[in-house]
Chains A and B, each alone.
Chain A
């Protein structure tokens, strides 16, 4: 039983090692890439959000629902 315990901990440390290697190797977004994606998706949320907001306001004045 002792052997399997050592094996287990080796397996776990191997796993963690592969995770660490993957994270280290992963290509992180550059500042510009990050800003680009943030602006694009942020703008999308703002535009759709604004339209939804205006409709909600109008609906509110029409007595809570169309």
Chain B
């Protein structure tokens, strides 16, 4: 595509965070990660100037995965970066843009394109959200709207470069850090906010203690906290369940290995796609309602409950609240679980995680099933006894966990806890590896 090549001079010249010349010490990496964390938290607590405080929050169901917080500098969160990444991946995957990622020059072009697209999307998303009224200015004042777009655009640039700082100087990825920060912040604040709202502390634990002291303890208020603990422990358990395929390395006869297949095979991706789909159903229901023919029903506001089809694509009122609707909760959970299973199958088949592709990778790296020649058909046959099963069961498990957490109003939400445990564990693995490299620098050259 000559158009892409013509973009090369601009795109590869975009300012970027310098890579460290000498491998950083573990302490420095921790410092940089910590600094970016503080910056993110400050930005997600700084309200936008000129923002209409009475605005309706349409982003609730995807706030966790976008690490966004409504009405603040972080209203868009990592939306633009993620959107740019997915679209570019699809374009390259579908060969609409012919880039050979093995070739360093194309690699540079790909990274430049990704940043260029992220910047364009930040401006585009900021303008659309303000002008459509999803992020309305106070009194619809046009000058305030322009100010809002500028603030969101600059904040978006910060997010892009903060992500790059963490990826090059810190631990793990910026996107992962922001998601974890957003979820941990919600758990901490919703759980322990001591300040009074409506005659009692807003946080669950202070509220319970306040009621206890007043002599009228209500144990129902503790449900979100215990639901969070239960979800957390179950997620930790399933995170470490593996199906292990015994393997030998062809050339080293004696070396026996095990190829681990994670039980939650497509990890959290299915639940992320499910919540994006649900957010879209709500978006379209709002648009249709505004256009006057609410086929999908009314999404409802903070005060009025949703109705019609869209109701079952909205997180139900939690189990401990007065107007808890069992039917709504059951139908919502059934939809979420089936979506998770479907998206798990879709993701496994489209990203080369299916038995055939994995067998090809294993065969190419010289692995064999003990007692059989390195015949790819044998490896594939063994893999296909387990991969389809973990795809379905894994998808079902994450869907059920997310549904349980949503229905009980667990702190952090199902997707939030699932994401956070996964990200934190991968960060730990990276830190452990860094520690080893620091103790045995020679090892770094061998592995990297």
Contact = CB atoms under 8 A, between A and B. Distances in A.
Contact of A49 (B185, B233, B244): B185
A4 interface: no
A48 B181 contact: yes
Interface string A41-66: 11011001111110110011000111
Interface string A18-56: 110111011111000110011011101100111111011
A9 to B, nearest CB: 18
B42 interface: yes
Contacts of B7: none
B237 A34 contact: yes
Contacts of B37: 48, 51
Interface of B: 37-38, 41-42, 45-47, 72, 180-181, 183-185, 187-189, 192-193, 195, 232-233, 236-237, 239-244, 263, 385-386, 388-390, 392-393, 420-421, 424-425, 427-428
A65 B421 CA distance: 29
B385 to A, nearest CB: 7
Contact of A66 (B45, B192, B232, B420): B45
Contacts of A59: 45
B158 to A, nearest CB: 14
B388 A18 contact: yes
Interface of A: 18-19, 21-23, 25-29, 33-34, 37-38, 40-42, 44-45, 48-53, 55-56, 59-60, 64-66
Contacts of B41: 51-52, 55
Given A22-B390, A45-B420, A65-B45, 12 more contacts: A19-B392, A22-B386, A25-B243, A29-B241, A41-B420, A41-B428, A48-B180, A48-B185, A49-B188, A56-B189, A56-B193, A66-B47
A55 B42 contact: yes
B184 A27 contact: no
Main secondary structure of the interface of A (DSSP, over half): helix
B343 to A, nearest CB: 19
A28 B244 CA distance: 11
Nearest to B177: A48
A28 B388 contact: no
Contact of B45 (A22, A25, A55): A55
A2 to B, nearest CB: 28
Contacts of A18: 385, 388-389
A53 B424 contact: no
Nearest to A60: B195
Contacts of A56: 45, 185, 188-189, 193
Contact of A44 (B38, B42, B428): B428
Contact of B239 (A23, A37, A50): A37
